[in-house]
Structure 1
């Protein structure tokens, strides 16, 4: 009898949780409205930015538009000030934040994230024809360039073997120009920024395997919008599984950086 009671209790608890989860109304609200409003900083290439015609484009834009297509809803982009983006989410100016948002413990206290859909962080880039440098350990004693004031500076100091020299530049493109000219051995740079730049100069540079530091990106929702988050997560999972996310990644980064097995 006790076992039967326990089994029934578990079933009731699971059913209650399922009803509560499905009953938050967040997905139904978006589905009935026929649109998902997404908040973003529209000056963050290659995740989301305006092209020469003023259109919002980028990796996140293509991914979200594909999600909307599969779910039968429109995607509406709402540019916003990044420093107040979470407050704007809870003010219901949009339904979620999809714009290369790093998952941090502090943010996890305020918003509910999807699983990471792309891994960001700091990587090291070398010339394509550089045969002597194959891994981060090979940068010991080498000349490494970074953008001044960026997280790349601290990452360069965390290399497995100390660099011979760390040179700071005003911008990443200036550092890459010195790398191409053989005045540097490597550039430490943010993953998405670096791969986007390298994709624009095919055949010139390559990234060393792995990350120096890691920062995962996720889509952020209000804590109470569980049903909506689950529906978006399910669709992203399907896009990763069928190769669609990889295709979008190769468009913007020249390679697939969405495969969790490679992180």
Structure 2
């Protein structure tokens, strides 16, 4: 049982390490634990994204359908699959994404965000997976 829980914690940590694109509230370690518990209970991860930053998050036509895709989006799909969680994408203006994290409307952000000292005081950033 402990090994399974550890694997889930590692998988959750992997989810949060998807580049400077993904963020989560820092406030306290217990808040992170509560967030993970909430995600597990709901069975889904809510992702804030703009859907407008090629190649990380954008729309493409696949078999005649408009599909949200991009490397951040596809990595999230695989991680959620491994965690047996659903993904809910909330497309919004970039300016509203951090507010969505703070207010609990989203669990993570999949977008290109610069890591700044000010943002690092409020949010956990992953190791960047691309530089531009």
TM-score normalised to structure 1 length: 0.36
Match among 66, 72, 77 for residue 78 of structure 2: 66
Q: CA deviation at 1:31?
A: 0.8
Q: Deviations over 1:64-110 (max 9, x none)?
A: 01110111101111101102221122122111112232222232123
Task: Give 4+ residue runs of structure 1 displaced > 3 Å after superposition.
Answer: 20-24
Cα contact 1:39–1:96 (8 A) shared by 2: yes
**Unaligned regions of 5+ residues in structure 1, if any?**
1-19, 122-263
Q: CA deviation at 1:56?
A: 0.4
Q: Which has the higher contact order (CA 8 A, sep 6+)?
A: 2
Q: For 1:70 and 1:106, locate their aligned partners in 2 and report how far apart those are by CA, in whole Å.
A: 33
Instruction: Identify the residue that residue 83 of structure 1 maps to in structure 2.
Output: 95
TM-score normalised to structure 2 length: 0.68
Cα contact 1:60–1:100 (8 A) shared by 2: no
Instruction: Identify the residue that residue 43 of structure 1 maps to in structure 2.
Output: 52
Q: CA deviation at 1:41?
A: 0.8
Shift in alpha-carbon separation, 1:83–1:22, aligned structure 2, 3 A: closer
Shift in alpha-carbon separation, 1:22–1:108, aligned structure 2, 3 A: closer
- Report matched runs for 1:213-252 at 5 Å: none
Cα contact 1:37–1:77 (8 A) shared by 2: yes
**Unaligned regions of 5+ residues in structure 2, if any?**
1-27
Q: For 1:47 and 1:105, locate their aligned partners in 2 and report how far apart those are by CA, in whole Å.
A: 23
Q: What is the aligned-residue RMSD (CA, Å)?
A: 1.9
